[in-house]
Amino acid sequence: MPSTVIRGGTVVTHDLTYRADIRIENGRIAEIGPDLKGEETLDATGCYVMPGGIDPHTHLEMPFMGTYSSDDFESGTRAALAGGTTMVVDFVLPGQEQGLLDAMKVWHNKSGRAHCDYSYHMAVTWWGERVWDEMPLVIGEGITTFKHFMAYKGALMVNDDEMFASFTRLGELGATALVHAENGDVVAELQRKLLAEGNTGPEAHAYSRPPQVEGEATNRAIMIADMAGVPLYVVHVSCEEAHEAIRRARAQGKRVWGEPLIQHLILDESEYRHPDWDHAARRVMSPPFRDKRHQDSLWAGLQSGSLSVVATDHCAFTTEQKRFGRGDFTKIPNGTGGLEDRMPLLWTHGVNTGRLTPNEFVAVTSANVAKILGCYPRKGAIAVGADADLVVWDPERRKTISAATQQSAIDYNVFEGQEVTGLPRFVLTRGRLAVREGEMRPQEGWGEFVRREARGPVSRALTRWKDLTAPRPVERSGIPASGV
Ligand code: DUC
Ligand code: ZN
Ligand code: ZN
Ligand code: ZN
């Protein structure tokens, strides 16, 4: 590959802003400084040069609710690049009794068509000796984060005993646990009750998953992680109740991170009361969209640092697939898209409104993700030796989001009609120019699997737990002699 220089831009990382050119050689950043020369030049005048976005949460070609999500690694990573995202982290979902490594091979077969780099989380969808045995081997493959569904009873859900066993094993191995935190038993009961009362439409989806089911499960997962001594990452935090539990845990020194989605930051529950069934059903996802009180809480969390990253949970279904749930909201495939729109929407509603600085934007869309998930500074950084996954961001470039012009394979966009200001001028994936002023230059199969490091045994919670269980001197009254 010829050397490329990105000239005349302002470099923005999670902690620094400065004027410099960047020279790229063989897919990596070779030099940062003034007046650099290369065989090719990209003009970044008037633009910010930032680490490409990393979406920590996607479901591409995911088998779910009797179908497969419609964006696969081809269309999904093409959409990602169009919006300035240069890496996605998808979820390997083993079937019941299926080995983790066998399931990983299935995902490696799907991801061969990716246009940008990618990694996986491993889902723990059942518990047994084989899962226990294979966990270190999975970590050895560079997959160091393990997801647990506390909802989807009868399908993906794991119970507390399974979750505690899995968390304990992961804590011992220095890995990180992820949770989808909703109380699956309560959701199943509310679904049954709503259907029995004749509530069959998409609005009942939101009624069946109130903020309390998320707040309860988030708190429970945090406490179980504390007892197990494992760091915990809570996916798709959508409400104040869950955010409050995360804030409290972090203030107590626990290693807990929260991930809001761009959908929950921008869209609210009124979408489910839309008179058009298709409109409402297209927005059915779990957790559901919430009201303004919760949206304000999520924005405040990003501003204060109690919430760490912004993802999409990109899981796109066509209108035809959504119609599987006509007459029964529990059969509407859960999921919405957002891969192409996450960065421009967060810039528009975050940076342009003054809620986030450009550095904070880089932190929550890229650097924090890479640090928490164990691939920093290869990803998420602008530094000599880092992968040249870069976005040249034009803060003046505008568009109206529309399904008519999107990369995603589905027939609508939940953000249809929204105006965004702030879009990529250029997007580079390991030095390869994939987007030039809105024109796509995709290359199927260019993307590579990114191995990630395990965090190691860092949970302070484990130390506290050991302290608490150690024998302590007791005074006559039965009150411990020291400590609270
Ligand atoms: N929620 C969704 O809406 N879709 C995929 C899985 C999930 O947890
Ligand atoms: Zn989930
Ligand atoms: Zn509509
Ligand atoms: Zn998900």
Query: Which protein residue has the closest C-alpha to ligand 1 atom 2?
Result: 335
Instruction: Give the residue extent of every domain in the chain.
Output: 53-385+449-463
- pLDDT for res 327: 97
Give, for ligand 1, the residue of 315, 330, 339 to mutate: max count of ligand atoms closer than 8 Å to Cβ: 315
**Could you tell me the CA-to-CA distances from 314 to 80, 119, 150 in Å, in that order?**
10, 15, 19
Which of 129, 144, 130 minimizes the C-alpha distance to 100?
A: 130
349 CA distance to ligand 1 middle (Å): 24
333 lines ligand 1 (CB under 6 A): no
- pLDDT for res 480: 36
276 CA distance to ligand 3 middle (Å): 6
Question: Which residue carries 């809480």 as its tokens?
Answer: 297
431: number of CA atoms within 13 Å, CB side? 20
Terminal alpha carbon distance of the chain: 63
Ligand sitting nearest the alpha carbon of 285: 1
- pLDDT for res 158: 97
Ligand sitting nearest the alpha carbon of 334: 1
Residues facing residue 68 across a β-bridge: 63
- pLDDT for res 455: 79
218 lines ligand 1 (CB under 6 A): no
85 lines ligand 1 (CB under 6 A): no
- pLDDT for res 18: 98
Strands 28-33 and 21-25: antiparallel
- pLDDT for res 482: 38
209 lines ligand 1 (CB under 6 A): no
Number of H helices, E strands in the chain: 16, 20
Query: Which protein residue has the closest C-alpha to ligand 1 atom 7?
Result: 286
CB 362 within 8 A of CB 14: yes
111 lines ligand 1 (CB under 6 A): no
Greatest pairwise CA separation for the chain in angstroms: 81
Query: Which protein residue has the closest C-alpha to ligand 1 atom 1?
Result: 286
285 lines ligand 1 (CB under 6 A): yes
Hey, how many other C-beta atoms are within 10 angstroms of the C-beta on 204? 21
458 CA distance to ligand 2 middle (Å): 25
58 CA distance to ligand 1 middle (Å): 9
User: Hey, what amino acid is at 148?
Assistant: H
Q: How would you write the chain as a 3-class SS string?
A: CCCEEEECCEEECCCCEEECEEEEECCEEEEEECCCCCCEEEECCCCEEEECEEEEEECCCCEECCEECCCCHHHHHHHHHHCCEEEEEEEECCCCCCCHHHHHHHHHHHHCCCCCEEEEEEECCCCCHHHHHHHHHHHHCCCCEEEEECCCCCCCECCHHHHHHHHHHHHHHCCEEEEECCCHHHHHHHHHHHHHCCCCCCHHHHHCCCHHHHHHHHHHHHHHHHHHCCCEEECCCCCHHHHHHHHHHHHCCCCEEECCEHHHHHCEHHHHHCCCHHHHHHCCCCCCCECHHHHHHHHHHHHHCCCCCCECCECCCCHHHHHHHCCCHHHCCCCCCCCCCHHHHHHHHHHCCCCCCHHHHHHHHHHHHHHHHCCCCCCCCCCCCCECCEEEEEEEEEEECCHHHCCCCCCCCCCCCCEEEEEEEEEEECCEEEEECCEECCCCCCCCECCCCCCCCCCHHHHHHHHHHCCCCECCCCCECCCC
- pLDDT for res 458: 58
285 CA distance to ligand 2 middle (Å): 9
- As given in the structure block, the two tokens for residue 255 are 């290693």
SS3 state at 192: helix
285 CA distance to ligand 1 middle (Å): 6
Hey, which CATH number is domain 53-385+449-463, 3.20.20.140, 3.30.70.270, 3.30.70.260, 2.102.10.10? 3.20.20.140
- pLDDT for res 79: 98
pLDDT tens track, the chain, 484 positions: 889 999 999 999 999 999 999 999 999 999 999 999 999 999 999 999 999 999 999 999 999 999 999 999 999 999 999 999 999 999 999 999 999 999 999 999 999 999 999 999 999 999 999 999 999 999 999 999 999 999 999 999 999 999 999 999 999 999 999 999 999 999 999 999 999 999 999 999 999 999 999 999 999 999 999 999 999 999 999 999 999 999 999 999 899 999 999 999 999 999 999 999 999 999 999 999 999 999 999 999 999 999 999 999 999 999 999 999 999 999 999 999 999 999 999 999 999 999 999 999 999 999 999 999 999 999 999 999 999 999 999 999 999 999 999 999 999 999 999 999 999 999 999 999 999 999 999 999 999 999 999 977 655 444 444 444 544 444 444 333 333 3
Query: Which protein residue has the closest C-alpha to ligand 1 atom 8?
Result: 286
pTM of the model as a whole: 0.94
342 lines ligand 1 (CB under 6 A): no
Q: Which atom of ligand 1 is nearest to the CA of 151?
A: 8
CB 166 within 8 A of CB 178: no
ipTM of the complex: 0.92
235 lines ligand 1 (CB under 6 A): no
284 lines ligand 1 (CB under 6 A): no
Residue 413 makes CB contacts below 8 A (sequence gap 6+) with 337, 341, 401, 402, 403, 406
334 lines ligand 1 (CB under 6 A): yes
